[in-house]
């Protein structure tokens, strides 16, 4: 699932070369293209998370529903992907947005890795960036989805009842003290709070599997258990999915996440520090 900057550099001088995708996105700066143009890993193609890695429908679907496979395949071909490619994704935010691309493409059968530590790991290794825009020749990849586990809104509710649902947002949003985006504050009843920012070290790399596993077990979840994950809109939940997979759990992604749940008035909301 992960690749180091050194291993990526080795792959880049081999044949066939890996396809590299730059997935810079964040809530306060959703358009990462200007930063990409200023400097990116040589050969990397920019991926627009909002436009290419999400569908846009009614508020009751959430802010970043998973795109249909036809839309994802068309985007992947624009990125120049072919069926036998090895793909590496990265961002500059601890893999929080790159993990969304990883999840979608892994679910669709692509051989894909996350650059552990992201762009910072590449630059810390002393390797150069290039500027401008990379426009690859069209790819021919054929995608079929369904390889990774997901949860519907009803299944997320059931996982909460069973104590097997993790809310990976910041603690203050989980407690319902603040809600900057969605219509209601709080969390899905029964969900535990384990912010996915706690799964990475200060340098943006994922913590070791043992450390992540201990963190989840300390929250009351048995080692290797099946567990659902959600966030605000389904983006950083993919990061938690990756971390839990690394640690040996069997995660399920509730992609609608809080943005979907909170737009359904019939769904109950819990507030405070307790599940």
**Average pLDDT of each block of 10 consecutive residues along the chain (275 residues)?**
97 92 92 96 97 95 96 98 97 97 98 98 97 97 97 98 96 97 97 98 97 96 94 97 97 98 98 96
Joined tokens for residue 45: 């193609």
DSSP-derived 3-state class of residue 260 = helix
Please give the pLDDT value at position 68.
Answer: 97
- Please state the pTM of the whole predicted model: 0.96
Intervals of CATH 3.40.250.10 along the chain: 2-124, 153-261
Annotated active-site residue 18? The verdict is no
Please give the pLDDT value at position 122.
Answer: 98
Phi, psi at residue 193, to the nearest 5°?
A: -105, 115
| CA–CA distances in Å: residue 227 to residues 25, 51, 201, 230, 255 | 26, 29, 23, 10, 14
Joined tokens for residue 165: 């649902």
Joined tokens for residue 160: 């909460």
Instruction: Please state, in angstroms and rounded to a whole number, the distance separating the CA atoms of residues 166 and 131.
Output: 39
User: What CATH code is assigned to 2-124?
Assistant: 3.40.250.10
Instruction: Please state, in angstroms and rounded to a whole number, the distance separating the CA atoms of residues 190 and 169.
Output: 15
Please give the pLDDT value at position 162.
Answer: 94
| Tokens 């969390």, residue located | 187
Please give the pLDDT value at position 25.
Answer: 96
Joined tokens for residue 13: 């001088």
| Tokens 């051989």, residue located | 111
Which residue(s) pair with 187 in the sheet? Answer: 270
| CA–CA distances in Å: residue 259 to residues 23, 60, 61, 231, 233 | 21, 8, 8, 8, 5
Please give the pLDDT value at position 123.
Answer: 97
| Tokens 């971390």, residue located | 243
- In this structure, what is the dihedral angle of CA atoms 114, 120, 126, 128, given to the nearest 10 degrees? 80
Please give the pLDDT value at position 30.
Answer: 87
Instruction: Please state, in angstroms and rounded to a whole number, the distance separating the CA atoms of residues 95 and 87.
Output: 15
Does the domain spanning 153-261 belong to CATH 3.40.50.2300?
A: no
Catalytic residue selected from 75, 99, 157, 231 = 231
Please give the pLDDT value at position 149.
Answer: 98
Which residue(s) pair with 115 in the sheet? Answer: 3
Nearest to residue 24, comparing CAs of 74, 129, 85, 99?
99
Please give the pLDDT value at position 27.
Answer: 83
Residue 72: alpha-carbon gap to chain centroid: 15
């Amino acid at each position: 699932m992960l690749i180091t900057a050194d291993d990526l550099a080795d792959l880049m001088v081999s044949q066939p070369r890996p396809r590299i995708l730059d997935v810079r996105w964040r809530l306060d700066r959703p358009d990462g293209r200007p930063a990409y143009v200023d400097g990116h890993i040589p050969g990397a193609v920019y991926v627009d998370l909002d436009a290419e890695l999400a569908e846009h429908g009614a508020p009751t679907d959430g802010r970043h529903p998973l795109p249909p496979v036809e839309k994802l395949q068309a985007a992947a071909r624009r990125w120049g992907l072919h069926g036998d490619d090895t793909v590496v994704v990265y961002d500059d935010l601890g893999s929080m947005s790159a993990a969304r691309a990883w999840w979608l493409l892994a679910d669709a059968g692509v051989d894909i890795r996350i650059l552990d530590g992201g762009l910072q790991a590449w630059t810390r290794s002393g390797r150069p960036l290039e500027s401008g825009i990379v426009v690859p020749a069209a790819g021919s990849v054929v995608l079929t989805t369904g390889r990774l586990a997901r949860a519907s809104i009803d299944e997320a509710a059931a996982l909460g009842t069973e104590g097997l649902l993790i809310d990976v947002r910041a603690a203050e949003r989980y407690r319902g003290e603040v809600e900057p985006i969605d219509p209601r504050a709080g969390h899905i009843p029964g969900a535990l709070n384990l912010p996915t920012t706690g799964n990475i070290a200060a340098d943006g790399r994922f913590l070791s599997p043992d450390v992540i596993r201990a963190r989840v077990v300390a929250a009351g979840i048995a080692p290797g258990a099946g567990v659902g994950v959600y966030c605000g809109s389904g983006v950083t939940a993919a990061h938690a999915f990756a971390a839990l997979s690394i640690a040996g759990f069997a995660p399920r992604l509730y992609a609608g996440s809080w943005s979907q749940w909170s737009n359904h008035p019939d769904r109950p909301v819990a507030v405070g520090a307790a599940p």
